[in-house]
Structure 1
Amino acid sequence: MAKIAYILLCHKNPQAIIQQAERLTAAGDYMAIHFDRRADPQDFHTIRTALAGNPNVTFAHKRVKCGWGEWSLVQGTLNAVQAAIDAFPDATHFYMLSGDCMAIKTAEFAHRFLDGNDADFIESFDFFESDWIKTGIKEDRLIYRHLVNERRHKWLFYAALGLQRRLGLRRAIPTDIQVQIGSQWWCLRRRTIEWILEFTRRRPDVMQFFRTSWIPDETFFQTLVRHLVPETEIQARTLTFLMFSDYGLPVTFYNDHYDLLLAQDFLFARKISPEAEELKARLGRLYAERQVGFQISNEGQNLFRFLTGRGRVGRRFTMRVWEAESTLGRDRELMIVVCKKWHVAKRLAAHLGLLTSVPAIEYLFDEENAALPDLGGLQNSLAKRTRHRRALMRMLYDYFDTDRLIVCMDSRNLELLQDFFSDRSITRILEVECLFSDADLIGHARRLGLAGEQTGKETLQQLLPTLRNDIIHESDLINDAGFSDLCRISERDPPETNALKLAEFLTIPHDVALELATTEQLFAD
């Protein structure tokens, strides 16, 4: 009979991870956990302590700091797989999961299904011939070396790629492998896992190739399985039900999707909303039940395409995503840096990216050409971003796979600040108070279109007091709005004072905050 060792990659929500491990192992299966070393050490301690007495749970012997698109995700998976191989000699199958996955069938059904299908389940399609990649770079993922994280260091990532293109630094793909691509959610037999681990030890050339490719979690296992396993023993599909919206983001399931999920021809589903408590409770109970019948209709993908298609042609009978998704999420943190001098806030945001793992977005509601990822067109104009602000923010949280986000805003955006503070999310404001010289105000007037290069000195002198009072007035309005979490750092204050406010705003150690506060020429023009 099949015995499943679940390979869980996770980085947050320790209580949810504990519950997931207890549910899946209660039916006699196993779990090997890799918890991101970049995450809160206290969360990992909580998980280790809670599961210490469970003999069916083990942990990766070595934890790595994971980043989206990096080799670290594959290395973390390999570390957890090796731990499972060592700890569970009778495990017959190894099933890749994330913290957002939940079983949509019983353990009894899953074991019977795997016993009746002697195959590896993994999406595995030819990298160059298939149309699996819909947008973005394709061949460049492989033929150039990628050494920095695209999401944390976007400018550097594309600068390095452009330099390699200009210098002709293409590299060859190992000649004896045919690169494949597919979903990272797979279920592999023990023999296949053992072959993969042995391959990693004897083929350092292939390992080095994938280590410096981009998004290798979509190509590494997919390629090796095709290389090592007869084609007749591979089913090119995932056993985890997931759908993607037109924006390329995973569709999230809620309480009213229970019957829909059970009807799909899959063993697990991803992503379950953290707020879908009733759905999680029902699915949690389901896994341990026995003699449950399932009516497989498998209409999920077609139904989703139909309903979203009605929306596109104006015949929808429900709200659009940006109208329905009216909250950012109860457990998400939005940290807003408010500053009239945009270059100062951008400088602060750049250093935040270096010292913390929290993504920072610069003036997305103020600057038409703000650096934003492709969100299906919603990011294309200021008007659209502002009108659908909460949907935009939800997509950014999902894109960066984070619950904490920093955005920069101009102090004139009081209405936006009030709207975000009315949400259920955790919202904080840091106002950066700068000194304004006459030259600063003249530059500000020109950006606003109130003055040009030929505007006379007398006109400018008459305008300056009004501009200065306007900036002060905007700050007063923010101060008088009664925001519960409002911090302020000032160019006038010493770094030690500003560090205390930065530590409070970002919930970071004081030494990190002090390093931020002492950033060289932080307030310089």
Structure 2
Amino acid sequence: MAKIAFILLCHKDPKAVIDQAQRLTAAGDYIAIHFDARSPRAEYEMIRAALADNVSVTFAKKRVKCGWGEWSLVEGTLRAVEAALEAFPRATHFYMVSGDCMAIKSAEYAHEFLDAHEVDYIESFDFFESDWIKTGLREDRLIWRHWFNERSHKGLFYASMNLQKRLGLEREPPVDIQVMIGSQWWCLRRRTIERIMDFVRERRDVVRFFSTTWIPDETFFQTLVRHLVPDAEIMSRTLTFLMFTDYGMPVTFYNDHYDMLLSQDYLFARKISPDAQELKRRLGALYASDRTDFKISNEGRSLFEFLTERGRIGQRFGERFWESEATLGRDRELLIVVAKKWHVGKRLLQLVREKTNIPAIDYLFDEEGTPLPDLGGIQASIEKRTRHRRALMRMLFDYYQTDRLAIGMDPGDLELMRDFDTDRSRTRFLEIETEFSDDWILGHALRVGLAGETTPQDAIDRLVPTIRQDFFYESDRIRDEGFADLHVLRENASAEERAQALAKFLAIPEERAVDIATTEDFFSD
């Protein structure tokens, strides 16, 4: 009888991790956990303490700081696999899952399913010949060396790649390796996993190659399995049911998807909404049951396509999701930096990107050219971003795979602030209060077209104090709104006062806030 060692990579929500581990091991299976080293150690210790008496749980011996698209995700997986091989000698299969995955069949059904076929389940398509990649980088993922993360250091990522292009540093994969690509959600037999680990130890050249590719979790295991295992023993599919929207984002499943999920020819599904408590309860009970009478119809994708053509996502029938989506997500936190001097606001957002794990986006509702990922067109213009603002922000949270996101706003964007503040997610505001010299205000008037090179001096003399008064009025309106979580960063405050405001706003240790607050020329024009 098959016994599964689940390989779980996770970075948040320790209670959900504990619940998932207890649920999966209760049916006689095992789990090896890698908890991202970027996440708080207290959360990691909470998980270890809660599962300390469960002999079917083990942990990667070393935690890795993981980043989306990086080799670190593969490294974390290998460390969890290594721990599982050592701790669970009776495990016959190794199944990769995330914290958003849940079983959609019983454990008994899953074990019988795996026993019925002596194969590995992993999507594995030729990297260069297939059309598996729908958008974004293709050959560039492999032929250039990637040392920077495209999401957190976009400028460095593309500058490095373009420099290699100019210098002609294109490279080829190892000569005996055919690079494959596919979903990272695989289920492999024990002997395949053992072959992979032996290969990793013996072929450091292959490891070095993949360690500087982009998104290697979609190519590394897929390539090695095809290299080490006969084709007849590979089923090029995943056993985890997942779908993507027209915007390239994973579809999230809710309480009303229970019957549809059970009818799919898969063992697990991703992603289950954190808010779908009833669905989680029912699927948890299902995995522990002895039920095996599942009627497989596989209508999930065709039903989803039918409904999305009519403007539906996430619920049975309704309006288009960007018109009806009510929330960014209960457990999410939107951090809004409000600054009239955009260069100061951007300076702070850049420091947030550099010194914290919080993704930060510049003035996306004010500047057309703000760098944004391709979200299917909804990000294409300020008008679209503003009209579909909640949908846009929800997609950005999903894109960055985060529960905390910082953005910049002009003080005049009060309607947007009000809207986000009424969302059931948590919204924090930091208003940067700066001094405005006459010269800066005049420059502002020229930039926005309130004055020109030929404007008479007497008109300018009247205009400058009027604009200054308007700035004060915008600030007063923000204070009058009574936002529950509003902090103020004042230019004329002491470094200690600035650090306190930043620490509360970002929820970071005060010493890190001091590092940001004492940045040289922070308020300079």
SS of match in other structure, 1:287: helix
Runs of 4+ off more than 6 Å: none
Q: CA deviation at 1:457?
A: 2.1
Correspondence for 1:170: 170
Q: Does 2:520 align with 1:520?
A: yes
CA distance in 2, matches of 1:353, 1:339: 17
Correspondence for 2:450: 450
Q: CA deviation at 1:311?
A: 3.6
Q: CA deviation at 1:171?
A: 1.2
CA distance in 1, matches of 2:330, 2:136: 32
Q: Does 2:167 align with 1:157?
A: no
SS of match in other structure, 2:210: helix
Q: CA deviation at 1:491?
A: 0.7
Correspondence for 1:140: 140
Correspondence for 2:438: 438
Q: Which amino acid aligns with 2:230?
A: P
Correspondence for 1:468: 468
Deviations 1:82-117 (A, max 9, x none): 000000000000000000000000000000000001
Correspondence for 1:127: 127
Q: Which amino acid aligns with 2:167?
A: L
Q: Does 2:410 align with 1:424?
A: no
CA distance in 1, matches of 2:201, 2:187: 22
CA distance in 1, matches of 2:317, 2:50: 46
Summarize the alignment of residues 231-250 of structure 1 with structure 2, pairs less than 5 Å apart.
231-250=231-250
Deviations 1:283-339 (A, max 9, x none): 011101013411110011111122222349xxx962112123210111100110000
CA distance in 2, matches of 1:284, 1:372: 38
Correspondence for 2:255: 255
Q: CA deviation at 1:458?
A: 2.0
Correspondence for 2:88: 88
SS of match in other structure, 1:194: helix
Q: Does 2:291 align with 1:291?
A: yes
CA distance in 1, matches of 2:23, 2:324: 32
Q: CA deviation at 1:69?
A: 0.4
CA distance in 2, matches of 1:39, 1:122: 29
Deviations 1:11-49 (A, max 9, x none): 000000000000000000000000000011111011000
Q: Does 2:236 align with 1:230?
A: no
Correspondence for 2:386: 386
Correspondence for 2:333: 333
Number of matched residues? 522
* Distance 1:292-1:231 versus aligned 2 partners, 3 A rule: closer
CA distance in 2, matches of 1:356, 1:65: 13
SS of match in other structure, 1:327: coil
Correspondence for 2:490: 490
Deviations 1:336-385 (A, max 9, x none): 00000000011111111111010000001111111111111000010110
Q: Which amino acid aligns with 2:422?
A: S
Deviations 1:486-517 (A, max 9, x none): 00011111111100010011110000000000
- Structure 1 stretch 447-456 or stretch 329-338: which is displaced more? 447-456
Correspondence for 1:365: 365
Q: Which amino acid aligns with 1:218?
A: E
Correspondence for 1:4: 4
Give the conservation status (yes or no) of the 8 Å contact 2:322–2:388.
yes
Correspondence for 1:204: 204
Q: Which amino acid aligns with 1:137?
A: L
Correspondence for 1:189: 189
SS of match in other structure, 1:367: coil
Q: Which amino acid aligns with 2:408?
A: C
CA distance in 1, matches of 2:518, 2:492: 13
Q: Which amino acid aligns with 2:88?
A: F
Correspondence for 1:342: 342
CA distance in 1, matches of 2:36, 2:148: 18
CA distance in 2, matches of 1:82, 1:403: 30
Give the conservation status (yes or no) of the 8 Å contact 2:146–2:161.
yes
Give the conservation status (yes or no) of the 8 Å contact 2:339–2:345.
yes
Q: Which amino acid aligns with 2:373?
A: P
Q: Which amino acid aligns with 1:274?
A: P
Correspondence for 1:74: 74
Correspondence for 2:352: 352
CA distance in 1, matches of 2:372, 2:443: 26
Deviations 1:112-142 (A, max 9, x none): 0000011000000000000001111111100
Q: Does 2:22 align with 1:26?
A: no
Gaps in structure 2 of 5+ consecutive residues: none
Give the conservation status (yes or no) of the 8 Å contact 2:499–2:516.
yes
TM-score (norm 2): 0.98
Q: Which amino acid aligns with 1:496?
A: E
Q: Which amino acid aligns with 2:453?
A: E
